[in-house]
Amino acid sequence: MPKEQIEEYIEAIFDIAGEKGTAKTTEVANRLKIAPASVTEVFQKMARNGLVQYEPYKGVSLTTKGVEAAIKIKRKHRLLEVFLAKILHIAPEKVHAEACKMEHSISDEVGDAICRQLNAPARCPSGKLIYPCEKGIETCNQCKETLEKDASSASQRKILPVTDLKRCQKGTIAFLRGSSKVIQRLSDLGLTPGTEVTLMRKTPMGGPIELSVRRTALAVGHDIADNIFVEAAGES
């Protein structure tokens, strides 16, 4: 059974019965416009997956796991509504239907990113509460701050060809480019991503450079060295 369908059921139960109440089979069937017989079958499956408790003739109620899933999907749905209305300026009457489709396909990460981008909106366009995320943070500002710090540190990370290092400057190998044979050779000689290298010397007129890696000295032709990218450390 596709994830999307399950999520639709969870949402429907959550809308009808809330966190603790019980939803009748007919109510859910009406809401989803599906025959009650099929709905019963799905309830049984969901019960096996631990999302609901199902009692024949009485109806279903969400388990803790079910509630968590419901809150997550609602959060995404409402965030998407804000995003569609405020940023993309989609007509208000279309917003709900679009969000219903999108909510199933975006990851939690994208949901959180939208949340930050919208400055952590509290309510959706129709005024319903947007549930908080599951991150262990106190305020939404904190989330924004860490994001900004991450972003700026990423842009401050100086990735440059090892040939651009100064003499005796250290760098950490970020990645290698070039033919697979050459890349393999370089990594076999110890120039693997994450390794610290020191530029010992350059020779004139674009000649080879000397690198110190794992206490061995390697001479590398300029063309090849241009394709070794490092994150530069401070000069020493």
180 in contact with another protein (CB under 8 A)? yes
Q: Where are any strands of DSSP class E within 49-195?
A: 52-55, 59-62, 159-161, 170-176
- Per-residue x/- track, 121-160, another protein (CB under 8 A): ----------------------------------------
The Cα-based distances of 216 to 28, 123, 203, 219 in angstroms read: 70, 60, 18, 10
Residue closer to another protein, measured from CB, 123 or 185: 185
Instruction: Give the position of tokens 């709900």.
Output: 96
Cα 104 to its chain centre, rounded Å, is 14
167 in contact with another protein (CB under 8 A)? no
Residue closer to another protein, measured from CB, 21 or 193: 193
**DSSP character for 91?**
-
Q: Which helix (H) or strand (E) holds 196?
A: strand 196-202
Residue closer to another protein, measured from CB, 12 or 191: 191
217 in contact with another protein (CB under 8 A)? yes
- In the list 57, 138, 181, 234, the residue contacting another protein (rule: CB under 8 A) is 181
- The footprint of another protein (CB under 8 A) covers 175-176, 179-190, 192-195, 201, 203-208, 210, 214-224
